[in-house]
Structure 1
Amino acid sequence: MGAKDYAIVVGISKYPALGDLVGPEADARDFHAWLIDPQGGAVPEANVTLLLSSNYPVAAQLKAKPQVADIEAVFDDFYVKGREESVVGDRLYLYFAGHGFAPSLEDAALLMANAARGMTGYHIPGRKYANWFRQAAFFKEVVLIMDCCRENYQLSAVRNVPYEQLNGDPPATPFFAFATQWSRAAREGPWGDGGAMRGLFTLALLAGLRGGAARDANGQIAGDALESFVFNFVRKRFTEGGDQEEHPDPEFSYDKMKPLVFGAPAAAPGAAVPLAAADAYIVRIAIQNGDAGKKLTLSTNGRPDIAPAVQQPDKWEWHLDMAGLYKVTRSDGKSKLFEVIGEKKEAIDVSFD
């Protein structure tokens, strides 16, 4: 899984005519990081196109980028390769974050940087493109993730995919995920590390993909488990903030009888993950009086006994490949649940006190 996968990741934060956002670019970078992580999507970095506002110079509205042509140029490459070779790869990831709207009940459209009131025709209708590549069967699987609003206004005609319809057999298996239901607004807020502005949906999605969602017998995360985790994460995080407005429930669409799986198979129970500290989430426990002489066990779904990277009289330390919910248990039965989330920067100190 991963070696023959491809991805387009778009995060637009700068909108000269519509008002800037903060979260989409950080969200896109974080999703890109998961995609190329060998323990995550395991997609070769050369197969991932990352388009961000910061890739382009600051410009007035009509010249602001990325624009439709920038994204369609990548789709064009897939189209040409698919027509010439009948297949492009195994899985196609499409990730779009920024301002958006819902051109139809089932779709969401990402507005381009040069969009404006009266010029909403500058957009990419995510589901239309995902379904075109599904039906063409240039890939075996198509994953669409859209972290943008789906408010039901439409001031311009919906863009069409600029390719003639192709019918592959069988069509690609889909997994579509939207930040919110039709007619609702997506949310960004100070939910990232140090209060950084992040899209709540992407934050939840990545927390699930990095270990928060339940794993199957192979140590991978099935689509239905990811959906359940994201739904609960969003509701919990939103209500914890004390916001009285209606929370934006996400929406998923996939074959419930054949959900896709995400992530690399887990190592054998108890096997150490060979990670350098700089590439890992570091969990550290300083040995207190009550811990002395007792064994400490760190566990998460599918991995009941994660071997420590450091075991010294004054501290135990684990280097983890994935974020998520973990439990540390002392040999006298005392335990503590904690969450690993965010970027791999600073050690996470855990105490039984």
Structure 2
Amino acid sequence: MNTEDYAIVIGINRYPRLGPPSPGEPLNLDGPVVDATAMRDWLIDSAKGGVPEENVAFVTSAAFPDPFETVNVGGIQRTKAEPTVDHLRGCVEWILERHAQSGKIQLGRRLYVYFSGHGFCVRDCDGGVFLANATPDLVEHFYSSSWFEGLYNKAIFSEYVLWVDACSSPIPMNLQPSESTLAGQVNNLDDGRRFVAFSAKFPRKSVERRMPDDQIRGVFSYALLEGLNGAALDEQTGRLTGENLRDYLKNALKEFLPPQDQSNPDIGDEPAFGTIDDIEFGQFAAKTFQREISFDPRHHGMRARIKDGQSVVVLETDAGADLWVVDLMPGLHKVEVEPDTELFLEINGESSDEIRIA
């Protein structure tokens, strides 16, 4: 487990008064709660994200009554649509409170922040999500990028990840994005590493569709989790880096789009990427390749060793008449047989005949 990792996961799919098609009509989504739940499950899986469950703030539309409650406010009946900005700000406050309680300069290693819902952007990778109580005239929102940047500037983690699955549509004319109110910036610590990705480039839209798991999902979220679950893995090294994930998403997102949207210029067929630093995701075993090694009779009974590129012994045996079947990771290796025989091997995944130690 990555015991010092934290996460904020948000999924909003019910918007009772956002409109269109008609102002004030619902503009609901199907995917955000399913996607946010799948993201939380990946995060808390000890073999994947490895984040302790108690370190995850998880807020979705499923936490609130369906349909929403009707309340009387000042003699007026109103729909109590949630989550609101207070819930999302509360997640940020929770992180800051945990930091204060820890008494440490840094709270942990990595912070994940994930949003799914209706959204807007000012430019590539600079936007936010609308809240459940948004209307066409009162555009309640959470400026995700600004709050993420505020947390980054606090330097209470060494790594920061932001994933936003929402349209990157231009902001409405009547919306002035509310900047983060987080104060202060730490200047005496090394800059934290980041991975920032939005589901579409500005000013394109994101879409959801029914996926192979028979659930309606956000295309970006589905592709992202496919990548995190191993599709983006470098099989030779066993690493799943930020660069691996970025390259996978660049190519894979379009494949998951509905056919009618793949050539639609209004639909994003490639995510927007911000800073992509050297960050690794998940815990995977490196791919190995099998080789068969035979020895000259003069070596029988002698000690044979295989060393990796750092001269570390990775395998050893007593040479004999039988083939020595080994599994080796990619890279340069050296076979040594006492007292004076050696052979260099380059393991790169290509097929090879039996290796003869003469």
Q: Normalized against structure 2, the TM-score is what?
A: 0.69
Aligned counterpart, 1:17: 17
Out of 97, 100, 109, which is 2:128 matched to? 109
State the AA in 1 paired with 2:271: P
Out of 139, 146, 149, which is 1:128 matched to? 146
Is residue 8 of structure 2 the alignment partner of residue 8 of structure 1?
yes
How far off is 1:98 after superposition? 0.4
Aligned pairs (5 A) from 1:176-325: 176-194=196-214, 196-215=215-234, 219-238=238-257, 240=259, 243-246=262-265, 247-248=267-268, 249-255=270-276, 258-266=277-285, 269=288
- Is the Cα contact below 8 Å between 2:236 and 2:287 reproduced in 1? no
Is residue 79 of structure 2 the alignment partner of residue 71 of structure 1?
no
Q: Distance in 1 between matches of 2:262 and 2:123?
A: 28
Alpha-carbon displacement from aligned partner over 1:65-104 (angstroms, at most 9, x marks no partner):
1111111112112223435533221100000000111144
Out of 160, 163, 167, which is 2:182 matched to? 163
Greater shift after overlay, 163-172 or 220-229? 163-172
Question: Identity of paired residues, percent?
Answer: 30
- Is the Cα contact below 8 Å between 2:162 and 2:197 reproduced in 1? yes
Aligned pairs (5 A) from 1:26-65: 26-57=34-65, 58-59=67-68, 63-65=80-82
Q: Distance in 2 between matches of 1:132 and 1:192?
A: 38
RMSD: 2.3
Greater shift after overlay, 235-244 or 124-133? 235-244
- Is the Cα contact below 8 Å between 1:10 and 1:28 reproduced in 2? yes
Greater shift after overlay, 235-244 or 44-53? 235-244
Q: Normalized against structure 1, the TM-score is what?
A: 0.70
- Is the Cα contact below 8 Å between 1:108 and 1:149 reproduced in 2? no
- Is the Cα contact below 8 Å between 1:218 and 1:265 reproduced in 2? no
Q: Distance in 2 between matches of 1:207 and 1:48?
A: 21
Q: 1:216 to 1:159 in 2, by over 3 A?
A: farther
Aligned residues: 268
How far off is 1:129 after superposition? 1.5
Q: Distance in 2 between matches of 1:73 and 1:31?
A: 20
Larger Rg, first or second structure (1 or 2) = 2
* SS, match of residue 86 in structure 1: coil
* SS, match of residue 140 in structure 1: strand
Unaligned runs of 5+ in 1: 271-300, 303-353
